[in-house]
Structure 1
Amino acid sequence: MSAPRPDRRSGWVIGRVAGAPVVLAPSWLLAAVVLTLVFTPSVRTWTGTGGGVLPYLVALVFVVLLFASVLVHELAHGLVAKARGQQPREFVLTLWGGHTTFGGAAPTPATSALVAVVGPVANLLLAGGFLLLADHVAPDGSVLRAMAWAGAVANGFVGLFNLVPGLPLDGGRILEAAVWAGTGDRHRGSVVAGWTGRVVAVGVVLLVLVRPYVTGGTPDLVTVAWAALIGAFLWSGASGAVRAGRTGRVVDAMTITTVGRPAVAVGVRSSLAQARATAAAAHAAEVVVIAPDGRPAAYVDADAAARVPADLAGSTDVLAVATPLPMGTVVDGSLTGDALLAALSRASANGPVMAAVVDGRVVALVRTADVVAALRR
């Protein structure tokens, strides 16, 4: 599975491909141990071996091969993405298999779909290779033949399951790209594929729980636990896609008008009365105090200003009721969408209130809380 993510997770870097690190997450060790223990009884059945260390070693080798197949899947995503101009940031093997992260989203629906589909295709090709090994190379009844068959089945399942059309699976990314191409709206694609992913998550759990009853049995506790974990993982990823799609629409429509409060500028020597009159004339909600060098230096604290009686406003210096604006809390008010959000994010690191300027003129005051509220809406 693939997704743009901002930060590299902790883990061990075991190499670099396409300019990106290959990372083993700590959770991979847990997965390797658990899967080795889970597969060991099957290895005994396949090979006819009894106790001892050999079945565990064979199971461990199979688990390593399985994760190697997952890595091939992820490398396919990254290599094709780089060929299409989308730089991979890291390849990570985790408890849930793996994922590829990128520095940004795919630029076109075609790139998104192509990057998504090559992962499952790589697994299906591996499944074919393992099948040929089992049928034409490995001796009958050998450990190699059993492992080759297991590799073919595992890769075939991973390839086909990832093509199911629901995020966070690769098939969901393909569906997202199709909706994006058909409507011109990337975010609608995310919402549609996210909702489909939720249906898939519920369907996986129901299939595991209901199928044993249909065949006259009952689901065992381990199977139910795995189904619940996988269903929860899929539901979480699908829900994240729905939220991301809705938030993306808000970001695309974001302007200083939608997140800021209209503001006017006054000089540092102005009185509170002058500031009030200037704001009233411009129908502005905020007042920004400009330093002698032309930099927005402070903003009037509405609560502090409200406590000043009207008859004292003329003799009250505006700085007496103002809060300083730290350096770096000025943004370009002509920006929109992702560019505006990125500028606000950088400026908010210096202070929670920012002045927006267009052509050297203060047009608005933006509070981080208002931006967060807009994104949530």
Structure 2
Amino acid sequence: MSSAKPVRRPSGWVVGHVAGAPVVLAPSWLVAVVVLTALSVPTARALTGLEGTAVLVVAFVFVILLFASVFLHELAHGLVARARGQQPREFVLTLWGGHTAFGGAAPTPATNALVAVVGPLVNLAIAGTFALLLAVDVAPRHSVTWAVLWSGALTNGFVGLFNLLPGLPLDGGRVLEALVWAVSKDRYTGTIAAAWVGRGVAVVTFLGALLVPRLLDVGTSMVDALWAALIAAFLWTGASGAMRGARAQRNIEGVSVGTVGRPAVGVGNADSLAHAGAVAAAAGAREVVVLAPDGRPAAYVDSAAAASVPAHAAGTTLVGQVAITLPVGATVDGRLVGEALLHDLQRATRLSPVVVALVDGRVVGLVHATDVVAAIRA
């Protein structure tokens, strides 16, 4: 998952830093450890024959080993991304495993694919290593060491193969996204295609968990059905979020003063409302900005207040009497587009929800923060 975001305080416990990014344990991680440990007890008992506290400890080791593997998976994402010029922002372990956040999107399809595929490959390499150790009998069968190796081989194999499924938000979905992006020359097309496949994977995961046991005449428990539903919901939600993010990003790339601003003209603070209206009409503008004597945008005419002025009084009413004051700095560069314009708007709208767009010092538009948000969400 990658997106350009401002630096923020991590939501969890920072336990270290790797590759210039914090390693964070989200509060939900503790829930995952407790639940997975409880669910692992029957398997640990079957593999070792232990009971009581001893089997609980083995189950806990299974879970810690799983999350260590997840961390190595995420670390691989971050290190390869960093080598390709994409700085990781944080590594987070959560209820659903983990994720790596980046300071910006992958610049090319090749980087997108390489960063995505390396995570599952690390898990498959770990699974293969554990399987090899089991094959050469480094530990007696049903010993604790043997059980830990068995668990590590199985869980890493599953995590690696599952993440290679070709649908977002899985890593295989990122690879598919990169392939479609490379062929179509359009990142948005790649993301939407991979997200739709991800929704399909979610449906197949849920139906498969319910139907395969029936076809094989194998019993299935309520817990199995619940896990299938949760995983399917996670996949569907992730795919849908990727779609929304892609659409928002496409809208961001198309943002300009022409698309989110209202055409405006500048008039002097000593001009009448009638004169301002005539200047605006001649320029085809909808808004009027009042300029200070030094040429700085000082206010903008409140359309509702201006409309309440009788026609016969417009010639004697100064624009300043129906204007809303603007703080110094509530301006943006009207030549900017996309993310560059959004960054400038973010700065300016901290001062005022309405800002003036300037090109070479000339008023060209009035931008309302609500219009920008609506354009991105459209």
Measured after TM superposition, the shift of residue 8 of structure 1 is 4.7
In 2, distance between residues paired with 1:328 and 1:157? 55
Counterpart residue type for residue 64 of structure 1: I
Matches within 5 A, 1:284-303: 284-303=285-304
Tell me the residue number matched to 2:198: 197
Measured after TM superposition, the shift of residue 201 of structure 1 is 1.1
- Does residue 333 of structure 2 align to residue 332 of structure 1? yes
TM-score, normalised via structure 1 length: 0.97
Change in CA separation of 1:246 and 1:254 when aligned onto 2, cut-off 3 Å = same
Which ranges of structure 2 fall in alignment gaps of 5 or more residues?
none
Detail structure 1 runs of 4+ shifted over 6 Å in the superposition: none
Tell me the residue number matched to 1:352: 353
In 2, distance between residues paired with 1:88 and 1:144? 35
Tell me the residue number matched to 1:55: 55
Counterpart residue type for residue 112 of structure 2: S
> Which whole-Å deviations, capped at 9, do the CAs of 1:177-223 have from their partners, x for residues lacking one?
11111111111111111111111111111111111221224532111
Counterpart residue type for residue 309 of structure 1: P
Tell me the residue number matched to 2:86: 86
Contact in 2 for aligned 1:3/1:99 (Cα 8 Å): no
> Which whole-Å deviations, capped at 9, do the CAs of 1:245-283 have from their partners, x for residues lacking one?
112222222211111110000011111111111101111
> Which whole-Å deviations, capped at 9, do the CAs of 1:280-316 have from their partners, x for residues lacking one?
1111000001112221111111110000011101110
Which ranges of structure 1 fall in alignment gaps of 5 or more residues?
none
Q: What SS class does the counterpart of residue 53 from structure 1 fall into?
A: helix
In 2, distance between residues paired with 1:190 and 1:295? 44
> Which whole-Å deviations, capped at 9, do the CAs of 1:79-101 have from their partners, x for residues lacking one?
11111111101101111000001
Tell me the residue number matched to 1:150: 151
Change in CA separation of 1:5 and 1:233 when aligned onto 2, cut-off 3 Å = farther
Q: What SS class does the counterpart of residue 314 from structure 2 fall into?
A: helix
Counterpart residue type for residue 245 of structure 2: A
Tell me the residue number matched to 2:366: 365
In 1, distance between residues paired with 2:132 and 2:188? 42
> Which whole-Å deviations, capped at 9, do the CAs of 1:149-186 have from their partners, x for residues lacking one?
11111101101111111111011111111111111111
Q: What SS class does the counterpart of residue 315 from structure 1 fall into?
A: coil
Question: How many residue pairs were aligned?
Answer: 375
Contact in 2 for aligned 1:8/1:90 (Cα 8 Å): no
In 1, distance between residues paired with 2:347 and 2:197? 35
In 1, distance between residues paired with 2:354 and 2:16? 43
TM-score, normalised via structure 2 length: 0.97
Tell me the residue number matched to 1:100: 100
Tell me the residue number matched to 1:4: 3
Contact in 2 for aligned 1:5/1:101 (Cα 8 Å): no
Measured after TM superposition, the shift of residue 140 of structure 1 is 2.3
Tell me the residue number matched to 2:76: 76
Tell me the residue number matched to 2:259: 258
Tell me the residue number matched to 2:277: 276
Q: What SS class does the counterpart of residue 331 from structure 1 fall into?
A: strand
- Does residue 35 of structure 2 align to residue 34 of structure 1? yes
Contact in 2 for aligned 1:190/1:244 (Cα 8 Å): no
In 1, distance between residues paired with 2:367 and 2:189? 28
Q: What SS class does the counterpart of residue 357 from structure 2 fall into?
A: strand
Contact in 2 for aligned 1:72/1:122 (Cα 8 Å): yes
Contact in 1 for aligned 2:44/2:58 (Cα 8 Å): yes
Counterpart residue type for residue 89 of structure 2: R
Contact in 2 for aligned 1:13/1:22 (Cα 8 Å): yes
Percentage identity across aligned positions? Answer: 62
Contact in 2 for aligned 1:134/1:146 (Cα 8 Å): no
Counterpart residue type for residue 3 of structure 2: P
Tell me the residue number matched to 2:342: 341
In 2, distance between residues paired with 1:3 and 1:57? 36
